[in-house]
Each structure stands twice: as C-alpha cells, then as structure tokens.
Amino acid sequence: MLSPEQIESFRRDGFLVLEEFVESDACAALRARAIEIVDDWQPSETRTAFTTIEDESPRNAEFLASGGIVWCFFEEEAFGPDGQLRQPKELSINKIGHAMHDLDPVFERFTYTSRLAEVAADIGLVDALALQSMYIFKQPSIGGEVTCHQDATFLYTEPISVTGFWFAIEDATLENGCLWAAPGGHRTGLRQLFKRTGAMTDEDGTVIETLDPTPLPTPPDDLVPLEVPAGTMVVLDGQLPHWSGANRSAHSRHAYTVHCISAAADYPAWNWLQRPADMPLRRLATVAA
C-alpha cells in the first residue's frame, strides 16, 4: 500500500497523511450510523462529559467500563448553569467509544479492511490488533479542545506499539479544529502514563505518572496543522505529540479513530481501557480476510 518514500516520511515525522483513502459513500454510511447511535442512546443520570484537561480527566465508572461497550460522552460545554443541555442531544455529544469496531456492523466493516491491515503492516505493525475506536463529533461552537498528548500515555504496551489511524469523515480545517502534529516529536520520548488504580468498580480511579518532566509542545508552537478533506486517513505514531483546538465555528468536524497495538506486545492490566474476558482483541488482517 505504501511507497518507500511514504514509509520513510512516517518514520521521520511520526505521521503520514493519506488523502482519498476512504470513499465518500463509506464516510457517509459511518456518519449516518453514528447519528443513529446517538439518537437511540439514553444517558444515565451521571451524564458523563469528556474532557482532556488533566485535572478533570474522566475517572467515573462509565468511562472506565467503556472498553467493551458502545457509549456516548457529552461535550464539556453541553450543559448550562442549570445542569440542562444547552442544545439538542445530537449536537451535544463529544464522542462515541470505545468498541464500535467490534460491536456494530457498520463500524466493523469500515474498520476491518485489507487496505488498513496492509498500511499497518507496511509501517511495521504486522500483526495489528484493533484495541479501541472513537467517533468524534467536534460539535459546532462547543467542540472541545483535545490537549497536546501522546497516545501511548493512554494505551501503553511493552514495547510501545500503539498506532492511531484517524479518518476524516468531514473536512478538517483550521476553523473547525483540525489535527496539529509535532514533526519528529515521536523521537523525544514518552512523558506520562495514565493508569487505572483499581478493579472495575464505582471506586475505581486513575492516576497520571510522570516519566519525563520535559513539557510537550505548547500549541500551536512547534506544531503543524493537518488540514485534510473528508476521506483522508492520518496515521499517527503512538509517541507523536498532537493536538486539536476547540471548534468555535458553525461547522462540525466528524472523525473516526482506531487505535491498534501489536499482538506481540504486552498490554499491562493497569491500562485504563480493559476489555471483558469474553471479548478478545481481533487482528486486522484476520478479520479483513
């Protein structure tokens, strides 16, 4: 799938942009299915909002149990001072996570393709396991910032192997909160680990462990914007610092992300995302075939 020049570019920069990777019909089908999931979803009394601000990172049972289910998370700014939604539910959801790729037929067909398996193999992830999926809405006006981070902080393996495959379902622009990345930043070392502190109970929580106090790039300094049209796939090294700003525009920025890890790597039990014992991870290549 990839040329030697593309592989070298990924190794040098830590990311690779592949335009026209997904056909428009497939993007439209995934978008329609995501909206259906939100329409059918009934929130609990907790009404979990998703934020990446460190002091307010999600630690409740809904978030920690979402590795093996399909769940919706609200935008942080979705609620007014009275605790009620400011706008309709379908315009208030931050993302859907985290197992649609294995539990929903539309997401499964989009995810498990021979083309994606081949790209993973080309960059060295030969036996890729699909670990996590997220459908991100980046809602108009209230789409939240995703702070500068490294994916390996949250999905750690030994050795580090997590790779993100980010699909633009709608055009991603400077105005609606496109991705920004730090070229070569994946070679500067992992800064933090996000660990869960107990069993999957109401008392379960998380802690952030510092490995290297060196700050990540301060957006937008030392970052480059990845403005891409719908249908583009961006491959992200697990140690690459990347960021997206808040969406204050009138246009959403829908995207779908799949995080994969190597079947040969160890996935520690303290990772926040854990799957039920009867829901093993599946190989991209095996299912795609």
Pairing mode, strands 282-283 and 163-168 = unpaired
The Cα 253–Cα 265 span in angstroms is 33
Question: What are the residue boundaries of the structural domains of the chain, listed by start?
Answer: 4-288
Check residues 30 and 61 and name the one with the higher pLDDT. 30
The tokens for 55 are: 């002091």
d(CA 190, CA 188): 7
Mean pLDDT over 122-149 rounds to 96
Please tell me whether the overall predicted TM-score, pTM, comes out greater than 0.85 for this model: yes
pLDDT band of 43, cuts 50, 70, 90:
confident
- What local confidence, expressed as pLDDT, does residue 289 receive? 45
Nearest to 88 by CA among 73, 78, 98: 78
How do residues 214-245 score in pLDDT, each as one tens digit? Answer: 999 999 999 999 999 999 999 999 999 999 99
Q: pLDDT above 70 covers what percent of the chain?
A: 91
pLDDT band at 53 (very low <50, low <70, confident <90, very high): very low
What is the second-level CATH architecture of the domain 4-288? Sandwich (2.60)
Share of the chain above pLDDT 90, in %: 83
- Assess contact for 259 and 235: CB atoms under 8 A: no
Say if CB 130 and CB 108 are below 8 A apart.
Answer: no
- How many angstroms separate the Cα of 155 from the Cα of each of 197, 207, 238, 268, 288? 15, 14, 8, 9, 23
Residue 288 pLDDT: 52
Looking at residues 254-283, what average pLDDT do you find?
97
More confident residue, 201 or 278: 278
Average pLDDT over residues 134-163: 97
Quick check: bond before 159 cis, omega within 30? yes
Structure-derived torsion over alpha carbons of residues 159, 166, 284, 158, reported in degrees to the nearest 10: 10
Compute φ and ψ for 96, nearest 5 degrees. Answer: -110, 135
Cβ-Cβ contacts under 8 Å for 87 (sequence gap 6 or more) = 78, 142
167 pLDDT band (50/70/90 cuts)?
Answer: very high
User: How far is Cα 221 from Cα 289, in angstroms, rounded to an integer?
Assistant: 43
Residues in the chain: 289
Residue-level pLDDT at 59:
53
Q: Are 119 and 147 in contact (CB under 8 A)?
A: no
Torsion of CA 219, 225, 231, 233, to 10 degrees: -70
Is the preceding omega at residue 88 within 30 degrees of 0, hence cis?
no
